[in-house]
C-alpha cells in the first residue's frame, strides 16, 4: 500500500492526481499547511518539512515530479509513462521537469509575496514581475498545444500531470484569464478529467475526516 503525506492542493497534489488516474489504492495522511509550523512531528517523516512524502513499502520519495515518474514507470508503461524507445521520450522527461522546475517556481514567489507573508511584507512589484515571468514561460506551450491535445506522445501522460498542477496553482492565483487560447483549452481538458476531479474530492474528504482544514494551501493566510 502506498502512503502519502499531503496538504490540500500543495505540490503533493501531483502524486494524488497520478494515483487517481492509475486507480491505485493509497492511504492519505493529511497535514495542516505548512507542516513545519503546525505539525512539527512531520519533520521526523521529512526533515525538509515539505510535502509530498510518499512511502511505497520502505521506499521514500519527496519530489513531486520524480514521484509522478516513479508511479508512471512502475504502474503505467506506454500509457501515463513514455518509454525510452518511444520518439517522445526526451520531450516527456523535459515537460515532466518543466512543470516543476520552470513553471511552478515563479508561482511560489507569487504565493509568498501576495498571500503568505503578513500584509506589511507583501511586495506587489514581485507579484507583478513574476506573474509576467510565469506567463511568458507558459506562452512557449501555445504553438505545441495549438497542434495537439497533450504535451507529448499523442496521449495524456505524467508530464501533463506535472504541468497541469502548475496551471491549477496559476488558476488559484487568478492568472487563468491571462492564459493564451490553446493553453486555456488544454487546462479545461485537464481539469475535467475524472482523475483530477476525484483527486480534489479525495483530499477534501480526507481532510474533513482527519480534522484538517480543507482550505487550499494556496489560499491567503488571514
Ligand X SMILES: N[C@@H](CCC(=O)N[C@@H](CS)C(=O)NCC(=O)O)C(=O)O
Interface with ligand X (CB under 6 A): 10-11, 34, 36, 49-52, 63-65, 100
156 in Cβ contact with 193 (< 8 Å): yes
CB-count burial class (<10 Å; 0-12, 13-18, 19+) for 177:
exposed
Identify which of residues 63 and 204 has a Cβ nearer to ligand X in the complex: 63
| Closest approach of ligand X to the CB of residue 36, in Å | 4
| Closest approach of ligand X to the CB of residue 99, in Å | 9
Identify which of residues 181 and 214 has a Cβ nearer to ligand X in the complex: 214
Identify which of residues 172 and 182 has a Cβ nearer to ligand X in the complex: 172
Rg (the chain; Cα; Å): 17
| Closest approach of ligand X to the CB of residue 74, in Å | 18
| Closest approach of ligand X to the CB of residue 108, in Å | 8
Taking residue 108's Cβ as centre, other Cβ atoms within 10 Å add up to 13
Identify which of residues 182 and 199 has a Cβ nearer to ligand X in the complex: 199
The phi, psi pair for 62, rounded to 5°, reads: -135, 10
On the CB side of 111, how many CA atoms lie within 13 Å of its CA?
Answer: 20
Amino acid at each position: 500500500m502506498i502512503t502519502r503525506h499531503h496538504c490540500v492542493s500543495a505540490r503533493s497534489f501531483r502524486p494524488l492526481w497520478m494515483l487517481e488516474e492509475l486507480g491505485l489504492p493509497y492511504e492519505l495522511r493529511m497535514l495542516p499547511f505548512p507542516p513545519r509550523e503546525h505539525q512539527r512531528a512531520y519533520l521526523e517523516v521529512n526533515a525538509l518539512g515539505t510535502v509530498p512524502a510518499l512511502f511505497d513499502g520502505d521506499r521514500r520519495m519527496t519530489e513531486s515530479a520524480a514521484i509522478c515518474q516513479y508511479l508512471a514507470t512502475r504502474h503505467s508503461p506506454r500509457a501515463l509513462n513514455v518509454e525510452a524507445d518511444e520518439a517522445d521520450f526526451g520531450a516527456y522527461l523535459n515537460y515532466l521537469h518543466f512543470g516543476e522546475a520552470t513553471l511552478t517556481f515563479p508561482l511560489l514567489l507569487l504565493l509568498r509575496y501576495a498571500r503568505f507573508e503578513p500584509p506589511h511584507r507583501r511586495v506587489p512589484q514581485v507579484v507583478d514581475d513574476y506573474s509576467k515571468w510565469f506567463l511568458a514561460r507558459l506562452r512557449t506551450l501555445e504553438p505545441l498545444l495549438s497542434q495537439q491535445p497533450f504535451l507529448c506522445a499523442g496521449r495524456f501522460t505524467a508530464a501533463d500531470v506535472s504541468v497541469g498542477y502548475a496551471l491549477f496553482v496559476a488558476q488559484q492565483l487568478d492568472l487563468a484569464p491571462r492564459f493564451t487560447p490553446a493553453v486555456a483549452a488544454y487546462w479545461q481538458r485537464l481539469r475535467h478529467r475524472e482523475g483530477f476531479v476525484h483527486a480534489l474530492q479525495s483530499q477534501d474528504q480526507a481532510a474533513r475526516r482527519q480534522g484538517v482544514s480543507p482550505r487550499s494551501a494556496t489560499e491567503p493566510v488571514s
